Amino acid sequence: MAQAKVLIFAPADSTGETHRRLEGLGCELALGKASWSTPMGNNEDEIVKMAQGADALMGTSIRSSPITRRIMESSKNLRIVAKFTIGVDDVDVEAATDLGILVTHAPTESNWGGVAEGTVGIMLTLLKNIREKDRFVKAGHWRSNDLLGAYVGARADGYKGITVGIVGLGRVGGRFARLMGPWGARLIGYDPYIPDSKFKEHGVEKVDFQTLLRESDVVSLHVVLTKETRHMVGEAELGQMKPGAVLVNTSRGAVVNERALVKALQEGTITAAGMDVFEEEPIFPENPLLQLGDKVLLSPHMVSGNVGAGLKPGVVWGTEAVIRALKGEVHDNVYNKEVVPRWLQRFGGKSLLG
């Protein structure tokens, strides 16, 4: 039996443990050059050559060379593209589905739970002026009304608290809502794909997108990147927000039109933005977001990266998904589930492993 070929287009296992596991099962491995810390590397032409004859592709984010139809078409027997991350926006999922290829992802709690916790941290840093207070004291000063922060929750004196708008009430948005619940703020949410029961479960009032933008003091984005969500926050949407509002994006950079955001911050349309993700990553030194001072809080797309978490669980899940696919089996974390029946007709029960 010929060896199964696995291309790891963006390796993330520094220990090599999962590589050795695959090799121990008789797989031939090819390793790309992209990495988690700098998700650049191979260009499309190079990946096309490396993917020829591959039965499986796997890896973490790869911004310079998304897994395109052309890459997937370079191997007629390709069974799976397995991501180590939650997001699959760097894979042409529509093409994969059309070609009968499984796309799996890794929604590990250490990842999405970390994003929710990090969102709280970003929001509070902006609302409470934490950076500014630290800098003020280190400069030898003491107290100023310019450093007053926002009180988040409702109080017994009649103060109703701020309104937090959550766009996307899936794993991350739902956990963020649960974390915010005890604070007593008003939580409103928009997600046309989540049943009303989930809104009630998370203590979130369901509203339409325009109402959320108008009424929120904080707008927090928790959506996957699709044709529908690309630039869902642009000049018109920012113009509907309160002048004192804060925007937080820990989902995907292209959900927000950065040019419109920069303009809104410069003109005072909104007060501040906290961003863990950007339209181009790594962020270019010329990006005007870097020139906006305390109007922005920027993070290098690693709000999910915490001690004991990071990509390690996702690497394990992705490796298991590849092994299952090479055995002719379907892993639980298939993103394009509609392809499964067709995939099983072609590959079901046909193992490439000894």
What's 5-108+309-347's CATH class? alpha beta
User: Would you list the domain boundaries of the chain?
Assistant: 5-108+309-347, 109-298
Tell me 150's DSSP state. Answer: P
The answer to whether residues 340 and 80 touch, using CB atoms and an 8 Å cutoff, is: no
2 band by pLDDT with thresholds 50, 70 and 90? low
pLDDT digits (tens, 9 = 90+) for 116-149: 999 999 999 999 999 999 999 999 999 999 999 9
Catalytic residue numbers, as ranges: 252, 281, 301
Report CA-CA distances (Å) from 85 to 1, 37, 107, 130, 352: 32, 13, 7, 31, 25
Mean pLDDT (whole number) for 336-342: 98
Percent of the chain topping pLDDT 70 = 99
Mean pLDDT (whole number) for 68-87: 96
Mean pLDDT (whole number) for 58-76: 92
Over 70: is that where the pLDDT of 1 sits?
no
Name the least confident of 49-53, 60-64, 224-228: 60-64
Which pLDDT belongs to residue 153?
A: 97
Q: Would you call 12 exposed, middle or buried from its count of C-beta atoms within 10 A (0-12, 13-18, 19+)?
A: buried
Name the least confident of 13-27, 33-47, 95-109: 33-47
Which pLDDT belongs to residue 331?
A: 95
What's 109-298's CATH class? alpha beta
Mean pLDDT (whole number) for 181-207: 97
Higher-pLDDT residue of 75, 62: 75
Which pLDDT belongs to residue 42?
A: 83
Does this chain's domain 5-108+309-347 share its CATH topology with 109-298?
yes
pLDDT digits (tens, 9 = 90+) for 237-291: 999 999 999 999 999 999 999 999 999 999 999 999 999 999 998 899 999 999 9
* Residue 167: closest CA among 140, 207, 202: 207
